[in-house]
Amino acid sequence: MDRRYQKQKTTILSREQALQSRKWFLFDAKGKTLGRLASEIAKVLRGKHRPDFTPHVDCGDGVVIINAEKVAVTGMKEARKIYKDYTGYIGGHRETPLATMRARHPTRILMRAVKGMMPKTRLGDQQLRKLRIYAGVEHQMQAQNLVPVNI
């Protein structure tokens, strides 16, 4: 039989195999555009960068982000972008401009961007737990042998 007509085996990872091959990547957010960086991070967290990606298994890798306070936005977003929250109480609608969010909680900007690109399921929550964001250069993840990523 001709080689091109042979059946190809699809690799499906088990949970144990995915745990054994997990790596940690280091992203530097300094000067990077918010949405483009968030989509790359979401891809790594889900495991879509791997050739053995399995949709129903947490086969993604861990991500550490440094310099989250220096992430860039394009256009007029610095002045016009507003984060909206609702406390659950009457009159509990809160609006926070990007500049205020950057001053108070710089890590939440990237966290919300990445969380919005992840699946809204239990698996997505599990994959999001492998995300660590730090506002400055210092982090406590040296033991994970981080692999620096250039975007």
Query: What does the pLDDT read at residue 49?
Result: 95
Q: How confident is the model at residue 36 (pLDDT cuts 50, 70, 90)?
A: very high
- H/E element, 79: helix 77-80
115-147 pLDDT, tens digit each: 999 999 999 999 999 999 999 999 999 999 999
Segment 39-60 mean pLDDT:
95
Phi first, then psi, for residue 47 (nearest 5°) are: 100, 10
The pLDDT score that the predictor gives to residue 35 is: 97
pLDDT band at 3 (very low <50, low <70, confident <90, very high): low
- Name which residue leads in pLDDT, 9 or 14: 14
Q: Is 83 helix (H, G, I), strand (E, B) or coil?
A: strand
Structure token digits, residue 129:
């737990």
Rank 7-11, 14-18, 35-39, 53-57 by mean pLDDT and report only the highest: 35-39
- CATH architecture of residue range(s) 22-73+106-149: Alpha-Beta Complex (3.90)
DSSP per-residue string spanning 122-151: HHHHHHHTTEEE-SSS--S-GGG--EEE--
